[in-house]
Structure 1
Amino acid sequence: MRQLFATPLYEGALGDDALLAELAHSIRSLAADDRAGQRWAREHHYRGYTSYASLDDLPRRDPVIGELARKLQRHAAGFAKDLGWTVRPRLDSLWVNLLKGGGHHGGHIHPHSILSGTLYVEVPADGGAIRFEDPRLPLMMAAPLRSPDAPEPLQPFVTLAPVAGQILLWESWLRHEVLPGRAKADRLSISFNFA
């Protein structure tokens, strides 16, 4: 069998526990102080806090996040090379997330970007998996159901339980969602887009 039209998912590791601890402190500080982000989360029924719509200068505002941005740039450049791209991705936006137990994000894509991703800073057990959707799904009008033990590339959805320090990158057109977690502890992450 020949595989066509792959949908690559980059999995990397930050590899810096001290930086992870500093990032966790930064996320909690921002969640406590950013009134605009708190208001946005409330108005959009986001269970927790996100700086998504409130702070667009985090790498300049916080040196710890600035250090992370430099590391993410290297991961994105390597992934772009693996994808055979002739462009070097540029970090376009970055935001922090503090998701409370039971919180989730509905399925979405990231328009106007070429790569998107997340660094998982703190992830409690059962803290909410990320699920990716086969981009061909809307075109499969009469496709039969797949066997639960079919190979991963043939599944309509792939679910990953992230771990602290893990970096995931994907092409921004890939639809994804965060499933509701059952943990009581907060799930801390930093999401980003490259243009």
Structure 2
Amino acid sequence: MDELIGLFPVPLLRVPGALPAGLVKALVEHFSAHAVRENNSSGHLAHTEMLRPDDSPLFVEAAALITPKLADFGSALLGERMGWALKEMWVNVLDHGGHQAMHNHANSFASGVVYLTPTHPESQTVFMKSPGGVDFAFRNDHAGMTPGPYNADKWVSPAPAPGDLVIFPSYLMHAVPPNRGERRITLAFNAIPARLNSWGYVISFGG
């Protein structure tokens, strides 16, 4: 029997209801007023400064719920279950008409988003293939073709509810299309594993 094998997939962990409603509400109420840093990709996008998890009791509570999920994700990403540390956390506030340009996250191995408010269907996070040279020079893009995991250049994440979490490799490109709905607030973070061991060459990362 013929067998189609999907080589080298990219892991993305989706955790519905990772943060409880009470914590989500408290994060929105506290950090909405602290998101004053402008983002050069959109005049309707602002964020807080990069904070360590222990800079806020609310972040401490959120980190305690997120970290075990990082260990689950890390076992798929790196092939071993180990400790993980949240490097930094911040809150994004995207008003009507704002967008977030395509980007990835440096100096980390896993990144994630917790959705704190409802998201308009046209403003769900979009993940994209790297713009590097991994595709053929010719494309087959037209109305009659069927996009799938082997030929699509983007994937729109499922509609999130407040408290939902996604974790993905930090190198994965992602963006948010123009927001057609009400204010969209998310908690983002970067994380690193405790260490990497490549046949005895060990690198340990600080917390």
1:74 aligns with 2:71: no
User: CA offsets, 1:133-184, max 9 Å, x none?
Assistant: 123763212232276533345421101243221101110111111111111x
SS for the counterpart of 1:90 is: strand
SS for the counterpart of 1:8 is: coil
Unaligned 5+ runs, structure 1: 32-37
Letter in 2 for 1:108: H
Deviation beyond 6 Å, 4+ runs, structure 1: none
Q: How many percent of aligned residue pairs carry the same amino acid?
A: 22
Distance 1:182 1:148, change over 3 A: farther
Task: Provide the residue aligned with 2:184 in structure 1.
Answer: 187
Distance 1:48 1:28, change over 3 A: same
Which sits farther off after the overlay, 82-91 or 61-70? 82-91
Distance 1:49 1:109, change over 3 A: same
Task: Provide the residue aligned with 2:204 in structure 1.
Answer: none
Letter in 1 for 2:34: L
Task: Provide the residue aligned with 2:160 in structure 1.
Answer: 162
Does the 8 Å contact 1:89/1:115 carry over to 2?
A: no
d(CA) in 2 for partners of 1:84, 1:43? 33
Letter in 2 for 1:166: D
d(CA) in 1 for partners of 2:14, 2:105? 19
Task: Provide the residue aligned with 2:32 in structure 1.
Answer: 28
SS for the counterpart of 2:72 is: helix
Task: Provide the residue aligned with 2:20 in structure 1.
Answer: 16
SS for the counterpart of 1:68 is: helix
Does the 8 Å contact 1:101/1:127 carry over to 2?
A: no
User: CA offsets, 1:104-136, max 9 Å, x none?
Assistant: 111111111100110000024346111111237
Which sits farther off after the overlay, 140-149 or 108-117? 140-149
* Largest Rg, 1 or 2: 2
Letter in 2 for 1:132: F
Letter in 2 for 1:49: A
Residue-pair matches, total:
184
Which one of 117, 122, 125 corresponds to residue 122 of structure 1? 117
SS for the counterpart of 2:38 is: helix
What value does the CA root-mean-square deviation take over the aligned residues? 2.3
Distance 1:42 1:194, change over 3 A: closer
Greater share of strand? 2
Query: TM-score, with normalisation over the residues of structure 2?
Result: 0.79
d(CA) in 2 for partners of 1:116, 1:55? 14
